[in-house]
Amino acid sequence: MKIRGIDPRDATWELDHARYRVYFWDVPAATAHEYEVLDTVDIGELLEWASRYAADRGWSYTVYTAVSDGDRLGLVRLAGVLGDPFADALD
């Protein structure tokens, strides 16, 4: 992990209410369950819910924030599994 000081004036915009995607990975069943989460301000609340929901089912999860550049939607991983746990099965 690299940590450095920044000048906060380099940001040109910010959002108070993010749009999130949560992917739950049921690896033994080779199934994913995807949800969009809106109207949450606190990422801690979302991470707590995702962690509890996954643990109750024996799944893993990945939390993303959804970012649009106007025409296209992109995902930025915030927490959880890195990459698609089914990718190796497709090779």
pTM over 0.85: no
pLDDT at 72 over 70: yes
24 confidence band (pLDDT: 50, 70, 90):
very high
Q: What is the pLDDT of residues 26-64, one digit of tens each?
A: 988 889 999 999 887 689 999 999 999 999 999 999 999
- CA distances 37 to 7, 22, 57, 59, 64, Å, are 30, 7, 19, 18, 10
Quick one: pLDDT at residue 79?
94
How far apart are alpha carbons 61 and 9 in whole angstroms?
34
Q: Average pLDDT, whole number, for the chain?
A: 89
Smallest CA-to-CA distance from 68 within 25, 31, 19 is with 19
Please compute Rg for the chain using Cα positions.
15
Q: Which pLDDT belongs to residue 17? A: 81
Q: Is the pLDDT of residue 12 over 80?
A: yes
Q: Where are the domains of the chain?
A: 16-80
AA letter at 21: R
Question: Residue 74 forms beta bridges with which residues?
Answer: 67
User: Are 21 and 40 in contact, with CB atoms under 8 Å apart?
Assistant: no
